[in-house]
Amino acid sequence: MLSYIEKYREHLQIERNYSDHTVHAYESDLLQFAGFLGEASGEQEVQIDRIDHRTIRSYLGHLLELGLSKKSIARKLAAIRSFFSFLVRLDILKLNPARSVTTPKLERRLPSFLDERSVAKMMELPDPTTATGLRDRAILELLYSTGMRLAELVHLNVGEIDFSAETVKIHGKGGKQRIVPLGRKAREALEAYLKQRGRLFTEKTTVDDRKSVFLAIHGQRIYPKAVHLLVSGAIKRVSEVEQKSPHVLRHTFATHLLDRGADLRAVKELLGHESLSTTQIYTHVTVERLKKVYEQAHPKA
């Protein structure tokens, strides 16, 4: 089984062009499954054609006993299902044994988002008299203006911003690209920051770092944790929402667009979602917000 996991890992890296983080997550889930099978059977190498739906259900029960959340179990099942689907396409197996295994029913939590007043307050937090302050404001404005993911922002290069067309080219999941509009506030914040960006260069700044839009304090391409700390700290200062991460600004971007009448399919394209059902959760956010407004304002609610 381990040799097939290695083939699958190469498939995800080369053919599907998945990020290193995603590939590692899939591989880790499959190796954990292989370890369970080895312990259960007492064999070091499990024969792939001896795995059936009962084996997989037994593994899911084992994960439940370990105290894993339904969300984590569902993710691990998705990795197993995708792995066996890959083996079927290679004619190594005739049937995918995971197809008939039901995914645990998840509680669908509505995403956290900020109101427009909180967003406006947030944009005033960074100090515009310093290069890092200008950078931080540009990061916040860009996340809210485009709805891009944290990884997409970290890997953004200067050449992918078209100021004349007011667009940004984003490299999304699976190597897919999309072009999104650049709002006026985000454009102004980026222009102000890029004029001062050279002040962040140091002897550690590489050729690749010089391509990066956002630089950390030592002149190197900014890293995800730095952005996460910036955004979570800013959210904490302007809002009481429970979730505090860069993804909240992505949720806020989508929610505000739909609140103001944007077409759901257009929002799907802007977010880079593969499925419309993924985007539809934001319609639930809008409906729940309207219900609260109704309950608070209507005399007979």
Annotated catalytic, 282? Answer: yes
Do residues 83 and 12 touch, judged by C-beta distance below 8 A?
no
Kindly name the residue from 149, 155, 197, 221 that is annotated as catalytic. Answer: 149
Chain centroid, CA 206 distance in Å: 27
- Surface-to-core class of residue 178, CB atoms within 10 Å of its CB (0-12 exposed, 13-18 middle, 19+ buried): middle
Do residues 12 and 22 touch, judged by C-beta distance below 8 A?
yes
60 closest CA partner among 93, 28, 103: 103
Annotated catalytic, 273? Answer: yes
Do residues 224 and 150 touch, judged by C-beta distance below 8 A?
yes
Annotated catalytic, 218? Answer: no
Residue 188: count other Cβ atoms within 10 Å of its Cβ: 13
Kindly name the residue from 210, 244, 273, 289 that is annotated as catalytic. Answer: 273
Kindly name the residue from 11, 169, 247, 289 that is annotated as catalytic. Answer: 247
Kindly name the residue from 9, 250, 256, 268 that is annotated as catalytic. Answer: 250
- Extract the tokens encoding 142: 């860009």
Kindly name the residue from 169, 173, 185, 228 that is annotated as catalytic. Answer: 173
Cα-based distances in Å from 93 to 52, 86, 276: 11, 9, 31
Segments of the chain assigned E as strands: 161-162, 167-171, 177-181
Annotated catalytic, 250? Answer: yes
d(CA 207, CA 223): 16
Annotated catalytic, 211? Answer: no
Do residues 154 and 227 touch, judged by C-beta distance below 8 A?
yes
Q: Active-site residue numbers? A: 149, 173, 247, 250, 273, 282
